[in-house]
Amino acid sequence: MKIIMLGAPGAGKGTQAKQIAAKYQIPHISTGDIFRANIKNGTELGMKAKSYMDAGGLVPDDVTIGMLLDRISEPDSKNGYVLDGFPRTIPQAESLTKALAERGENIDYAIDVDVPDEAIVSRMSGRRACVSCGATYHIVYNPTKKEGICDACGQTLILRDDDKPETVQKRLSVYHEQTQPLIDYYSKEGKLVTVDGTQDLNDVFRDIVKVLGE
């Protein structure tokens, strides 16, 4: 099963993608997580990505597309994957469609986790993220068992640099300009599924499972 998660920053793409990956036994591939891991490890890719990310902009397509296409060529991606944060521009979507078509493959679903902008800003300030394993929590809506420590891997959680309110506003406007057109793109391809992302996170997942099957 090949799935794309669409939705604004903070809509809950990562939260849902983790659960989808666990239930359907497919890798969760988050371009944001890959960039953050590279920044943490001080790689050349990380250095390229950091300034764009900190400013709330997008990392250029020429960096991002090759990285993602390499990642989905790895052996663990053979039976599918859930892409979280890619594609984010029309050229990225077109590159993915083309690369898959060359292998006789196609995306199964593009799931849009729909949340209005007003709800996003308050969610972001309460988010805590694990840079080691990519898990995401919320101090109110999805707390860890032990404050500040990742339930999954025991590492210390961080508040992401790009979760400051003014950067979140910038990310939202970049989303509306560059990423929202993908909703139309996947709708025309007949792949779009929209779920109400303002619900409790377990209810969002229940709606996704209704579409993907038990």
Question: Under the rule (CB under 6 A), what is the footprint of ligand AP5?
Answer: 7, 9-15, 30-32, 35, 52-53, 57-59, 64, 85-86, 88, 92, 123, 126-127, 136-138, 141-142, 162, 171, 197, 199-201, 204
Amino acid code (one letter) for 29: I
Catalytic residue among 36, 123, 128, 160: 160
Smallest gap from Cβ 16 to ligand AP5, in A, equals: 7
Instruction: State which residue, 20 or 136, has the beta carbon closest to ligand AP5.
Output: 136
| Residue 14 interacting with Mg ion (CB under 5 A) | yes
206 labelled catalytic? no
Q: Which stretch binds Mg ion (CB under 5 A): 13-21, 39-47, 64-72, 156-164?
A: 13-21
Instruction: State which residue, 23 or 98, has the beta carbon closest to Mg ion.
Output: 23
123 labelled catalytic? no
> Residue 137 touches which of ligand AP5, Mg ion, none (CB < 5 to 8 A by kind)?
ligand AP5
127 labelled catalytic? yes
| Alpha carbon separation from 50 to 45, 47, 58, 135 (Å, rounded) | 9, 5, 10, 20
Instruction: State which residue, 105 or 161, has the beta carbon closest to ligand AP5.
Output: 161
Smallest gap from Cβ 26 to ligand AP5, in A, equals: 17
Q: Is 144 left (phi over 0), alpha (psi -120 to 50) or beta?
A: beta
13 labelled catalytic? yes
Please give the full DSSP string across the chain, using - where no structure is assigned.
Answer: -EEEEE--TTSSHHHHHHHHHHHHT--EEEHHHHHHHHHHTT-HHHHHHHHHHHTT-PPPHHHHHHHHHHHTTSGGGTT-EEEES---SHHHHHHHHHHHHHTT----EEEEEE--HHHHHHHHHTEEE-TTT--EEETTTB--SSTTB-TTT-PBPB--GGGSHHHHHHHHHHIIIIITHHHHHHHHTT-EEEEETTS-HHHHHHHHHHHH--
Smallest gap from Cβ 60 to Mg ion, in A, equals: 20
Instruction: State which residue, 26 or 204, has the beta carbon closest to ligand AP5.
Output: 204
Catalytic residue among 13, 36, 123, 128: 13
128 labelled catalytic? no
What residues are labeled active site? 13, 88, 127, 160, 171
